[in-house]
Amino acid sequence: MVTKGMRIGKYELGRTLGEGNSAKVKFAKDTVSGESFAVKIIDKTRITRLNVSFQIKREIRTLKVLNHPNIVRLHEVLASKTKIYMVLECVTGGDLFDRIVSKGKLPETEGRKLFQQLIDGISYCHNKGVFHRDLKLENLLLDAKGHIKITDFGLSALPQHFREDGLLHTTCGSPNYVAPEVLANNGYNGAASDIWSCGVILYVILTGCLPFDDTNLAVLCRKIFKGDPPIPRWISPGAKTMIKRMLDPNPVTRITIVGIKTSDWFKQDYTPSNCNDEDDVTSIQEDIFEMKGSEEEKRPYSPTVINAFQLIGMSSFLDLSGFFEKEKVSERQIRFTSDRLVKDLLEKIEIIIKEMGFLVQKKHTKLKAIQEENIQKGQSGLSVTAEVFAISTSLNVVELIRNSHGDSFLYKQLCERLLNELGTTSQVQKLLT
């Protein structure tokens, strides 16, 4: 166990700055130069047990080729029989997440300055063939001058990780920041997906809240696929346009780094970061893990750390209905899961709606059921929207929204029948009680 005052090479270790599942970060001082550093101490046994060795190797290999003022710098890597020591630039200002949580949204001028630094750093990465894939507020540190420092490249992709189609295929990232094409699982462009994440970050910087958020994963995914987050009125037209173009659900038409940098809004008070692109990293040892080849290279389709998206991908043999709401969202909104195919599900919903005397309007995966006003029975018209959201090939979510008051008994009957005939076998039958 590392204790205060212990020396690793020429570095004297001090207080603990942070700690995670497989590593801890300690403050360190170079006993020769007196410079301050942050040393990430990684336990080899623990990362082998957690099967995340390839992530550590990837982070080291990535940081070896990056030298930019807006990216946390890797200075040296040392190793013992049991531990790996990554000597990193010491960044003392905390992360951007804590900054927003404690002080709220930033003024547009200040927010744009941080955004410019973020884009400078990501542009540099992309030019080096590095795609971060986990950009979020927590991975943006602030130095003593308040400048952005991008960190945590454990999920980054290099050119050798692209498949023959020229796309990346690993579903990774943090739910609120991940691009829709990553969720679609059909391959994606690493640059475009990073730009989406930067768009989410810009939105949070200027509004103090996430553009896409929900405690229910299915609803969150639907919001991400739809795009078009609400833009507060205080956001300037230039910033609003930038956010909308970055959060374009279509990666083909989404704005590029070049487009961002040439926009009038971005160029206001812009001073490009000076890049010293000399590779001066020393003592990097490729055999520090005592492994032959990357675990990811051996098993490119087997995720090591299971996250929510990977669980969805496993749903052909895992019942995921427990991950989604099976209760009323409100008096006018109900959702449930179904294991039927989307096409069959829509056809069956239409049949049930028509059998119950509703008129039907269809648009893509959405159906609108309308029952006209019945003056003789003193009943006002009832309108219900049914929408199907595909989570995977074997799991869909059906959402019912009552658009008008109408016949509450008929609405309950409709919901009950749809749930009984279309819901998953594990669905709890207390939805309407």
Q: What share of the chain is helix, strand, coil (3-state, %, to 5)?
A: 35, 20, 45
CA–CA distance, 42 with 397 (Å, rounded to integer): 41
58: nearest Cα among 159, 142, 136, 150: 159
254: which 2 tokens?
Answer: 């989404």
% of the chain residues with pLDDT over 90: 33
Q: Which residues are annotated as a binding site for ATP?
A: 40
Architecture of the domain defined by 96-273+302-313: Orthogonal Bundle (1.10)
Please list, residue by residue across 32-43, b when 16 or more beta carbons sit within 10 angstroms of its beta carbon and e when fewer do: eeeeebbbbbbb
The CATH class for the domain spanning 321-422 reads alpha beta
What's the mean per-residue pLDDT of the chain?
78
Q: Which residue has the tokens 């991400």?
A: 224
Give residue 306's pLDDT band: very low, low, confident or very high (50, 70, 90): very low
pLDDT grade, residue 323 (50/70/90)? Answer: very low
User: Is the model more confident about 154 or about 249?
Assistant: 249
pLDDT of residue 169: 67
List CB contacts of 24: < 8 A, sequence separation 6 or more: 2, 16, 18, 40, 41
- Which range among 46-55, 335-344, 349-358, 380-389 shows the weakest confidence by mean pLDDT? 46-55
**Cβ-based neighbour number of residue 16 at 10 Å:** 13
Mark the binding-site residues, compressed into ranges.
40
207 pLDDT exceeds 90? yes
Q: What is the pLDDT of residue 314?
A: 37
Give me Rg for the CA atoms of the chain.
26
Six token digits for residue 274: 């000076």
Least confident of 89-93, 214-218, 259-263: 214-218
What local confidence, expressed as pLDDT, does residue 122 receive?
96
What are the DSSP calls for 8-60, one per residue? ETTEEEEEEEEE-SSEEEEEEEETTT--EEEEEEEEHHHHHHHT-HHHHHHHH
pLDDT, tens digit, for every residue of 293-303?
333 333 333 22
pLDDT in tens, 129-167: 899 989 999 999 999 999 999 998 888 876 666 677 667
Q: Which of 134, 152, 248, 339 is catalytic?
A: 134
Which residues fall within 8 angstroms of residue 7, CB to CB, at 6 or more apart? 13, 31
Phi, psi angle pair for 416, to nearest 5°: -65, -45
For the question of residue 134 being annotated catalytic, the response is yes
Instruction: Read off the pLDDT band of 119 (50, 70, 90).
Output: very high
Looking at residue 193, its amino acid is: S
The reported pLDDT for the residue numbered 356 is 87
Which DSSP symbol is given to 161? Answer: G
Q: Considering only CA atoms, which of 92, 90, 111 is closest in space to residue 100? A: 111
Find, among 303, 291, 266, 119, the residue nearest to 194 by Cα.
119
pLDDT of 266 over the 90 cut? yes
Question: Who wins on pLDDT, 204 or 414?
Answer: 204
Task: Delimit the domains of the chain by residue range.
Answer: 7-89, 96-273+302-313, 321-422
CA separation for the pair 177, 123 (Å, rounded)? 18
Out of 3.40.1000.10, 3.10.20.30, 2.60.40.10, 3.30.200.20, the CATH code matching 7-89 is 3.30.200.20
Which whole number is the average pLDDT over 121-131? 93
Average pLDDT over residues 35-50: 83
Half-sphere exposure of 346 (CA within 13 A, CB side): 15
pLDDT tens-digit profile of 173-204? 788 999 988 888 778 888 999 999 999 999 99
* Weakest mean pLDDT among 25-39, 54-68, 127-141, 401-415: 401-415
The confidence score (pLDDT) of residue 278 equals: 52
Q: Is residue 101's pLDDT more than 80? A: yes
Q: Is the pLDDT of residue 171 over 60?
A: yes
- Which residue's structure tokens are 């989406």? 196
pLDDT at residue 288 greater than cutoff 70: no
d(CA 371, CA 356): 9
| CA–CA gap between residue 380 and residue 402 (Å, rounded) | 13
Q: Are 62 and 157 in contact (CB under 8 A)?
A: no
Pairing of strands 359-363, 333-338: unpaired
pLDDT at 308: 43
pLDDT confidence band for 285 (50 / 70 / 90): very low
Looking at per-residue confidence, does 224 or 399 come out higher?
224
CA 56/CA 304 separation, integer angstroms: 12
Nearest to 39 by CA among 74, 80, 81: 74
Question: What is the Cα–Cα distance from 72 to 80, expressed in whole angstroms?
Answer: 24
Question: What does the pLDDT read at residue 295?
Answer: 36
Q: Which of these ranges, 87-91, 173-177, 269-273, has the smallest mean pLDDT?
A: 173-177
pLDDT at 282: 39
DSSP string, 281-311: -B---TTTT--SS-HHHHSTTS-SS--HHHH
* pLDDT at res. 376: 47
Q: Is the pLDDT of residue 239 over 90?
A: yes
* Residue 188: DSSP 8-state: B
- pLDDT on residue 307: 40
Domain 7-89 identical in fold to domain 96-273+302-313 = no
Q: Among the listed ranges 192-201, 275-284, 380-389, which one has the minimum average pLDDT value?
A: 275-284
Using alpha carbons, list the distances in angstroms from residue 357 to 180, 255, 350, 414, 417.
37, 47, 11, 10, 14
3-state class of 85 per DSSP?
strand
